[in-house]
Structure 1
Amino acid sequence: MIGQAVHKPPRAEGTLGRSRPARPRRARLRKPCWPERIPRAIGAALLAATVIACSPGGDPPASTGPDRGALEHLVAAVDVERAATTSSHERPGSLRFRRQVRLFSQEEGRITSLDVFEGDMVREGEVLVALDDDLLQAELDKARATLAQAELDVRRLEDLVSKRAASDAELSQARTAVAVARGDVRLLETRLAFTRIRAPFDGVVTERLVEPGDFVSKNTHLLTVADPQSLVAEVYASELILPRIRVGDPAQLRIDALGAVAFPARILRIHPSLEETSRQGIVELTLEDPPEGVKAGQFVRVTLETASVERLLIPFRALRRDRDGEFVWLITDQGQASRRKVRSGLQSTDRIEILEGLAPGDRIITRGFLGLSEGKTVKVVPE
């Protein structure tokens, strides 16, 4: 019937249908709540106090935590002072001939002789180029004959004037003809000499631009002769260096093609003008003893030593820079850090010149910038 409870008979005990006995439940360990922990904490505190009270002297141990020395900022510092210093500046440059002459033809004609080549040594006055001179020689012979006739006419007229057979005007005209003839002879002799191009000094041929048999006109470049003893090094120096060097100052010169050996040199000339774009001027140096293998056009490195100058120098690492410019950290009389704006000058190895912002005796910080701020107390320690 609906709504009546159905009673199920208990299962018969047997091997398969026998029910398992119920397992006893394990008692769960309950963690003590906060009030139960308090006695343990109090006991630990009392134990620590007992140990401190029983320690010799009764003083608490020194603190070794991070708070010790938190007010001290350790830095290294130096005192600013003036020093007489020289500075070395290496400048690149090139070797060139200071004395070099380009030989041009002053007469036109065919080249009949040219026996020198590039690299040949020549002596002063030696004939290097000869031009065909037959035409000029013929004109010179004619001029000399004209002169001889004019001189003969003068002597004849002088005899006639003494006999009152000729006038003084005729004699004067004859003498003028002699002077003109002599001028023609000198002109042709000069032009004839121009057909022989001679070496202007002892030197070496650096250019040969024509060959025998070539016909050249006037003002044609034939040869170039240079004086090897006039070899100089030409370098560019900054306008900041030029006021501190003088003609005759010693220098060191290295030629890359000849190795790392430094040769003694001396400043020969300082050009008076500067390039407007780079603000650099030309400095010429001469080698005191030119080595073997030195040639014009070789690359050189010149080390210039400036004169001794009193400068206010600080270690380069003490100079700081940010978007506001250059500055250093000073230590005040109260032992505090103070930022000071400066203007630097030339750098020499690990030191740099200060032009504005510092005075001798100021103490500046060289190490310990991390965490440094205006007014912070600092402690100076050895580097």
Structure 2
Amino acid sequence: MKRILVVLALVATLGLTAWTLVNNKKEVEAKIYKPDADQKVGVRTAVAELRNLSQETEFLGSFSPNREIEIRPQAGGQIVSLPIEEGQTIGAGRLIAKLDDEQLRYQIEALQVTLEGYQNDLKRYENLVKGDATPAINVERTQLSIRSTHAQIKQLQKQIANTTITTPFSGIVTEKMVEKGSVVSLGTPIAKVTDISILKLVVQVPEKAINQFRVGQSLSIETEVYPAAHFTGRISMIAAQGDAAHNYPVEITVNNSSANPLRAGMYGSIANSSKVKGQTLSIPRQAIIGSEKQPQVYVIENGKAALRSVAIGATTNEYYEITKGIKVGDQVVTSGQINLQNGTPVSAQ
């Protein structure tokens, strides 16, 4: 009797468990979303059409000065005049600094006295030689002394000229390294002058794009500091040798603007457009789904999404060339593919 009761209890438990599982399954199925087969899915589309494929590539660089120089004296001495200040605009040939030249002038004065004595001696010797009163060699020695003294005077005059230090070109005094009264030696840096009337934009161009540029080519330049302004530059140099990453420096010169003044160190960019292919069937990149080896697109046919396999040719940043799978005028889906299956009704936007 006990065995019968145990069996009955086990059967009842199993039956209750089975009923519970079936009931839970029905509740779960009732909660699962079942799409309406007739409900349309909203998508965005584009038309497959013939277009010239071109690729625009942007290259970023920074501006450098046209010319920059550290002013260094060709003589030594105390600075007695320094009429410059940092940030000052200065013209070509203007005075940067004046060194003390008093001792050099005294030496010239002494040599001029010596020269005058030699010239008087020469006149006397010439008269004496005519009367055979002195050897002709005295005339020759005096002439050599006069020539030597002239050379010494010229040397000192050159040294005096070197005490006047001027700028070789117009620019801005970007650094003053000494003060009036300082004693400097030959080659000591005094100031730095920078010319930014013309600037050089240097960009690094990869090997695959370097043949798109040529010396003398005009390019449009954009800057971050003046986003609404456009500058025109001209390629002045293309490096003959690249770096380890196969990038080649390209130098573009641009005239500075008073309305939108540029400064050395600012960023600038050029955009170069290159033709990838002529008239060819193409679609936006967003239309492609699937893998690289098996690309696919959804085409709208009779209000429904039809999945097509395609073959891709040339590519740009925006478009793919399609060589197989669709034709001109086909409407392809560019957004919303995640909600589509083959045959899904769609509403194109």
TM-score, reference length from structure 2: 0.65
Q: Which has the higher strand share?
A: 2
User: In structure 2, which of residues 139, 142, 156 is the aligned counterpart of residue 188 of structure 1?
Assistant: 156
User: In structure 2, which of residues 74, 77, 87 is the aligned counterpart of residue 119 of structure 1?
Assistant: 87
Deviation at 1:289, TM superposition (A): 5.5
Q: What is the aligned partner in structure 1 of residue 233 from structure 2?
A: 266
Q: What is the aligned partner in structure 1 of residue 104 from structure 2?
A: 136
Distance 2:78 2:107 in 1: 17
Q: Where do residues 46-61 of structure 1 align in structure 2 (5 Å cutoff)?
A: none
**What is the letter of the counterpart of residue 247 of structure 1?**
V
% same residue: 23
CA contact (8 A) 1:111 1:213 kept: yes
Deviation at 1:285, TM superposition (A): 1.8
CA contact (8 A) 1:319 1:328 kept: no
Deviation at 1:104, TM superposition (A): 0.2
Distance 2:249 2:66 in 1: 13
Unaligned ranges ≥5, structure 2: 1-45, 297-307, 334-347
Distance 1:189 1:127 in 2: 18
What secondary structure does 2:129 align onto? helix
What secondary structure does 1:98 align onto? strand
Deviation at 1:190, TM superposition (A): 0.7
Pair 1:145 & 2:106 matched: no
User: In structure 1, which of residues 262, 279, 285 is the aligned counterpart of residue 246 of structure 2?
Assistant: 279
Ranked by relative contact order (alpha carbons within 8 Å, sequence separation 6 or more), the top structure is 2
Q: What is the aligned partner in structure 1 of residue 71 from structure 2?
A: 103
Distance 1:239 1:187, change over 3 A: same
Distance 1:206 1:133, change over 3 A: same
What secondary structure does 1:227 align onto? strand
Distance 1:165 1:87 in 2: 98
What secondary structure does 1:230 align onto? strand
Q: What is the aligned partner in structure 2 of residue 210 from structure 1?
A: 178
User: In structure 2, which of residues 320, 324, 339 is the aligned counterpart of residue 363 of structure 1?
Assistant: 324
Q: What is the aligned partner in structure 1 of residue 190 from structure 2?
A: 222
What secondary structure does 1:229 align onto? strand
Deviation at 1:250, TM superposition (A): 2.4
CA contact (8 A) 1:236 1:282 kept: yes
Distance 1:268 1:146, change over 3 A: farther
CA contact (8 A) 1:250 1:264 kept: no
Deviation at 1:299, TM superposition (A): 1.7
Pair 1:237 & 2:205 matched: yes
Deviation at 1:327, TM superposition (A): 5.4
What secondary structure does 1:101 align onto? strand
Q: What is the aligned partner in structure 1 of residue 217 from structure 2?
A: 249
Distance 1:289 1:100, change over 3 A: closer
Deviation at 1:203, TM superposition (A): 1.9
Q: Where do residues 286-301 of structure 1 align in structure 2 (5 Å cutoff)?
A: 286-288=253-255, 290=257, 291-301=259-269
Runs of 4+ in structure 1 off by over 4 angstroms are 76-79, 308-322, 326-330, 336-340, 364-368
**What is the letter of the counterpart of residue 363 of structure 1?**
K
Distance 1:156 1:315 in 2: 105
CA contact (8 A) 2:62 2:268 kept: yes
Deviation at 1:185, TM superposition (A): 0.6
Distance 1:178 1:279 in 2: 65
Corresponding pairs, count: 272
Distance 1:320 1:189, change over 3 A: farther
RMSD: 3.6
Distance 1:283 1:88, change over 3 A: same
Q: What is the aligned partner in structure 1 of residue 23 from structure 2?
A: none
CA contact (8 A) 1:238 1:280 kept: yes
Distance 1:109 1:229 in 2: 33
What secondary structure does 1:240 align onto? helix
CA contact (8 A) 2:311 2:325 kept: no
Distance 1:321 1:174 in 2: 102
**What is the letter of the counterpart of residue 281 of structure 1?**
Y
Unaligned ranges ≥5, structure 1: 1-75, 331-335, 354-360, 369-382
After superposition, the C-alpha distances for 1:173-198 in whole angstroms (9 at most, x for unaligned) are: 22221111111111111111111111
Q: What is the aligned partner in structure 2 of residue 163 from structure 1?
A: 131
What secondary structure does 2:197 align onto? helix
Distance 1:309 1:174 in 2: 84
**What is the letter of the counterpart of residue 237 of structure 2?**
I
Distance 2:77 2:149 in 1: 25
CA contact (8 A) 1:252 1:262 kept: no
What secondary structure does 2:154 align onto? helix
Distance 1:151 1:305 in 2: 78
